[in-house]
Each structure stands twice: as C-alpha cells, then as structure tokens.
Amino acid sequence: MAELAGPDGLVLEVEEYHDPWFHLAVELPSHLHRLLDAGELPQLERLGRPRLLTAVPSFRMKGADGEETEEQMPNFVATIVDDDTGTNYQLVGTTERIEAAELIGTESQAFVTPDEQDAASRLIAADERFARDIAAGTLQVVPSMPGAVLGDGRDGRRTRLVTMALHRIGDEHNTFQPIDVDIIEQVIARIGREVATTCGVRDAGNQGNGSGTQLARATVRRGAEVLWEMVVARPSAQPQPLDAGLSIRRVDYKGRRVLYRADTPIVNVKYDPPAFPASYRDWLNSEASFEANGIDAVPGYRLCPTPPTTLFDLDASGNYHAGGNFSGVSFHWEGEWVVLTSVMQAGWYRYRSVWRFHPDGTIAPTFGFSAVDNPATCRPHTHHCYWRFDFDIGTPGGNRVESRSVRLVPRPPWSPADPAIWETFPHLFSFTWTPVGSETRMTRHWLSAYRVSQIATGDAYVVYPGPHDGVADAGFGVGDVWVLQYHPTEDHDPAPGLDNAAHIDQFVNGESTEDTDVVLWYAGHAYHDQHHDELAGEHGHVVGPILRPDHW
C-alpha cells in the first residue's frame, strides 16, 4: 500500500486489488488459443483460417449484496476473424462447455489489437523503402484510423488489413501517408497519397511504461473517517470487445454504496459531409502515455505529488504535446479533490478520462477529446461519449429514478420586500421531480437533472449536466440520457454495425425502473471546428456531468 497526503488531514491510500474475473480475463485467451491450435473448437470447422483476436469473460451477475455471484463468472465472448475472407465472428458461451458455444457473424470489423499493430509496424520498418528514414528518426510508423478494414489482399481475396501511417517529420511541415498492411501474408497491401498534417498536436513519441491488467483499491480518509472506497480498473485491464476506458467499481461514500460500476463503454465521432469516412467507433483499452511523476502503488497506478501533464495541458515551454513517461492511472490532489487521470489512444485520437471525488460526496467525471498529428481532424466533426452509471444507492434493488422538470413562475400580484428583484428576474424557475416509471430515452436541456434514490431511506444522488455537454443531433448522436433496468449483458453495445452509432435504444423495452436496480446512460456531445477553435483560443474539448449526494 502507498499513501498520498492531501490538505486538511485527507489521505489517499492505494493498493493492489485481486479480482478473479480479471484473472480469468488473462487466462482465457491462452486457453482458447490452445483449443484452436489443437482443432478442438468444432464451431470453427467451416471457417477457412480462423484466428483468435480477443477473448474476455462477458458478464457477471450481481447478487442481493451488490457483489458478483461466482457461478456467473465463466461466461465469455471471443472475437474470431477468418483470414480467408476477412469476416468477423463472435464466439459466445461458457468456459464449462466451450464446444457448445455459439458462433455469430458480425457486420463490422473488430477493433484492431495491439498485437496486430505491433506486427504491422515491424513489417513496415523492415521494408527497404522506409527502413533508413525510420532509423534516422525522420519517419515514424504510427497507428491510423479506423484500425482495421476489409480490403483486397495480394491475390485479390478479401482480407483484414491493419491501417497504419507513415508520419514524416520535416523542417517546415509534417506529412501523413496511410499504409495498409496484410499481417497474415506479410505484405504491404496499399500505400496512400502523402498529405500535409495540419491537425492535432505533436506526439513526443514516448510510449510510457507499458500496459497491464492489474486493478487497484483506492481509499480516501480524513483521520479515522473513511470517506471514499472504490476499485479502479485501468483501460488496458479491460479487454476488447468489453473495453470501457478508465473504470471505477464498487464506489462507496461514507460506508454506503453509490455506484456498482461507472465507465465509458461507447465513444464515437461523426464528420460533417462530405467527409469520408464519415464516422468512427473507437476502442478504449489502448493506453497513451502522459507525464506523471510520483511513486507506483501498483504497476500502472501512480501517486503524484503534482498534477500530471497531458496533451490538454501546457508544458513548461508553453506548448501542448502528447506523450510522456507513464501510461495507466495517475492520482493527485487538486485542493480537496482527489483526481484520477488516464489517457487512451485510438489511431490519431487521444482521449483523457478523469474522475474527481470530493469529501462532500460530489463526483465529477470528465472526458476530453483531442488528437495528435493527422490529416483528418481539421474537418468539422462531433465527438460523442456515453457514460454508463450503474447506480446501487445503498443496495442494488429498491432504487428509483426521477427527472426534474422546470416551469417559469410569473411575477406574483403581491410586491416583494425588494421590488428590484423582479426587474432583474421577471420570472423564477419552479422545479418538480417526476418518477421515471419505465425504461426510456430522454432529451436533455441545461436545467435538466436526474435523481437516483433508495426508496426505503431517501438517500440519493443527483446527476446534473455539465456546461459543455451539448445535446444529441437528429441522427448519429442518438440521444442524451437513457434510464434502464439493470441487466448484466447490457453493459456495452454488442453490435455497433457499419454505421458506428451507439445502439442503446435496443435496451429500452418498457421494463419498470421503479423499486429495482437501475442504470443511467449519459451522453456528452462536443463539436470540433479547428478554425473556430483557433480563433477562440480553445484547445481540445471536455464534457462531463456532476453527481452530487442528496439526503445522504
């Protein structure tokens, strides 16, 4: 265990946390690889050249005490690609009867894996056309978007290609050249046109200290009083396709449960016409490095006496840049707030996930959108981030959700003690809390709020929109807030499809959200127009709600 002292007697303690589910997540891929190599997966016999991309336990069932029941842990989902056709599949079943698992075809390409990107990078670096410049440091091999595509292989067959790029660093300007790699046939399938990169910030190229699958337990105390207890999962600890960025779990405030789990299972982006590709869905288990100085309580969990520096922060030279000496989760104090920070990467995109916790019970998550050198993000586009808050106020069951409605109260016929108040505020707002009785999608405005409470005690948390969270557009943005009854298999979007949009509406089926276990999905929408941002002096975009205790 390691400690980090804060102000006014506050102390943060961080130690390693052992979770059998995450250990199974580490062991499962190796087990399936052995079965695949031995030909002991009969479901895959109809595939030409099946290759395992990812495998992860698919869900856990909560018991009445808010903890997992062991008998539910062996469920899994694996992602398979047929290298003869480039077609993707999901193998869904239980580890107790893998031979009975179901093989399901999917429309979209699975997210690229770190192993695929590493293989593509090595192949490009070994090519005599690029090897000298790469060795000299004037050419970098970098990930591109969307990570993996279905394209034409060397013999004309359709196959899965890994999308990379050549980033040339010049004296006056940098260039970006897309390059697609067939890692199975060990060939470069396509080299695109070299274009200038005028978008994004410089990437220092430092890759941090690697990824890992460890979890950590964090405790905040003031003297003998325990204020906060939680389990923290770094992004790389959550394999695809169930990746969800920086995740907090089993969050207790002053000894009572607030959240069973909260993270961001869905992040996507849509470009204004006539851009092509028009949209991307991003993976959230690939960590990017940032500058964080301190001591590691657990590998990948660093306690920092000073705030970290990410590409959202000015460095000592007054510039923004990506990269640094650390990847994982940093902890630092910001006044009385304890702040958890992690940075993720998907191609050229860089995302910063932050969770803040205050002694008064306030929780403030934010999600930041930015990018390193690239040819795309100068075009206007909208980022969307979808938080999933699995509330267990006190207990998993017995919860309810209420929505705040607002109306204007006109000036009354009587005169107040200070009539000038009506000259400044000709109307006052009247707020009413209305129960959300069944699953629904809701439109948000700046005065909206959502209260999740334990019916028996009245303990509650209220979710308030952040000032920059925006509202959904008529199409790709899908929605702002969803109220759902808890189901363990609804913790991610299982089939994003070719449109890359979020498909949370599929979980809305009229079930009761009164006196039960409830989940709140909350979306933040950020529009990025680089020309406008440069004129306004803005850098990056950050969204996020505020969660405050009510009658605690």
Q: How sure is the predictor about 534, in pLDDT bands with cuts at 50, 70 and 90?
A: low
Q: How far apart are CA 94 and CA 65, in angstroms?
A: 24
Contacts of 12 (CB under 8 A, 6+ apart): 3, 4, 5, 6, 218, 219, 220, 303, 331, 333, 338
CATH number of the domain located at residue range(s) 215-550 in this protein: 2.70.98.20
Q: How far apart are CA 26 and CA 340, in angstroms?
A: 24
What percent of the chain clears pLDDT 90, i.e. is strictly above it?
65
Supply the pTM of this predicted model: 0.91
pLDDT of residue 67: 64
pLDDT of residue 100: 86
pLDDT of residue 6: 97
Q: Which residue did the predictor score with more confidence, 203 or 147?
A: 147
Nearest to 220 by CA among 375, 332, 319: 332
Contacts of 506 (CB under 8 A, 6+ apart): none
The answer on pLDDT for 154 being more than 90 is no
pLDDT of residue 422: 45
Q: Which residue did the predictor score with more confidence, 418 or 32?
A: 32
Residue 81 · residue 162 · CB < 8 Å: no
Q: How sure is the predictor about 232, in pLDDT bands with cuts at 50, 70 and 90?
A: very high
Q: How sure is the predictor about 73, in pLDDT bands with cuts at 50, 70 and 90?
A: very low
Q: How sure is the predictor about 47, in pLDDT bands with cuts at 50, 70 and 90?
A: very high
Write down the mean pLDDT value for the chain.
88
